Every structure is written in C-alpha cells, then in structure tokens.
Amino acid sequence: MQKLEAQLAFLEQFPGFNPGAEDLKAELQRQIEEETNFFQSKHLEDKTVEEIIQVGNNLGIWRSLSNNEKVQIYRRIVHRIFIRDGQIESIIFQNTSSVTAENHDECA
C-alpha cells in the first residue's frame, strides 16, 4: 500500500496534464481504495487465505479493524490451532497444509 501511495504522490507532482498519467493516477487510487476496504468487503469469503494474510500484513489496516471484524477474518483463514504446554505448536489454515509457528513468544 505504501508503494501505491508513493507512486500516486509522485504522479500528483507531475506538472501539466497527461491523459496517460491521469489514467494511471485513477488506477492507483482504485487499487488503494480496494486495499483499504479489503476487510470490509462483503466478498471476503471469495478471497484466498494467502490474499487475506498478504493484506493483513499492513498493520495500519489491521489496527483499524474492530474486534468483531478480526474474529471474522480469523474464522475465514484459520481451520485449527494446536497448542502444547500453553504454546502454539502449529496452525492449519483453511484449504492449506499445516504451518508450524516459528516464534512461540510472539504468537497470540
């Protein structure tokens, strides 16, 4: 998202009018809007686990979500979590194979 915003900011500073640049600015703005509203989308169930995790890596967007929205996302991407001795041992995502948690101290 930062990359898209930086590209848009650069184009906004471009002097004069260029139809190609205007089209590109509109497309960048559309992509930014789509990414910003990704989790509010009613089509979240159409997104893959990988797409959801990729967008969720943007902490600014993640922090803007309510707890209810976060719970909906967890339910959409996580199938099962295995815990041993109070530590996360592994996570099975929806429609993917098991992924072992690498840093137990930072898992929640």
Which residue, among 63, 57, 107, has the nearest Cα to 87 in the 3D structure? 107
Low-confidence spans in the chain with pLDDT less than 70? 1, 36-45, 58, 96-108
- For tokens 């719970």, what's the residue? 71
Q: pTM for this one? A: 0.48
Q: How far apart are CA 104 and CA 98, in angstroms?
A: 16
Q: What is the pLDDT of residue 86?
A: 93
Q: Which helix (H) or strand (E) holds 62?
A: helix 59-64
Buried/exposed code over 31-42 (b: 16+ C-beta within 10 A; e: otherwise): eeeebbebbeee
Q: What is the pLDDT of residue 97?
A: 44
Domain boundaries, the chain: 1-36, 48-108
Q: Crossing angle for the helix pair 19-36 and 2-12, nearest 10 degrees? A: 150
Q: What is the pLDDT of residue 100?
A: 46
